[in-house]
Amino acid sequence: MNSARLNNTLSEKLTRIRSFMILTLLVRALVGLVSAEENPKASLDH
């Protein structure tokens, strides 16, 4: 495998990892917002 192809493959993997991390953070933020709306006192205790 030449270095250009290896760099391209690594770049694609990093892009997928970044996309997955961003999606995970967004889902966690949405879950936090929903749980805070359901029980506002619980969110103030933290």
Q: Is residue 15 part of a domain?
A: no
Q: Is the pLDDT of residue 39 over 80?
A: no
Our measurement of the distance from residue 43's CA atom to the centroid of its chain's CA atoms, rounded to an integer in Å, reads: 22
Q: Is residue 45 part of a domain?
A: yes
Q: Is the pLDDT of residue 43 over 80?
A: no
Q: Is the pLDDT of residue 22 over 80?
A: yes
Q: Is residue 3 part of a domain?
A: no
Report the predicted TM-score, pTM, of the whole model to 2 decimal places. 0.66
What mean pLDDT comes out for the span 32-43? 74
pLDDT tens-digit map of 2-18 = 888 988 999 999 999 99
Tally of domains in the chain: 1
Q: Is residue 16 part of a domain?
A: no
Where in the sequence is the domain holding 27, given as residue range(s)? Answer: 22-46
Q: Is residue 37 part of a domain?
A: yes
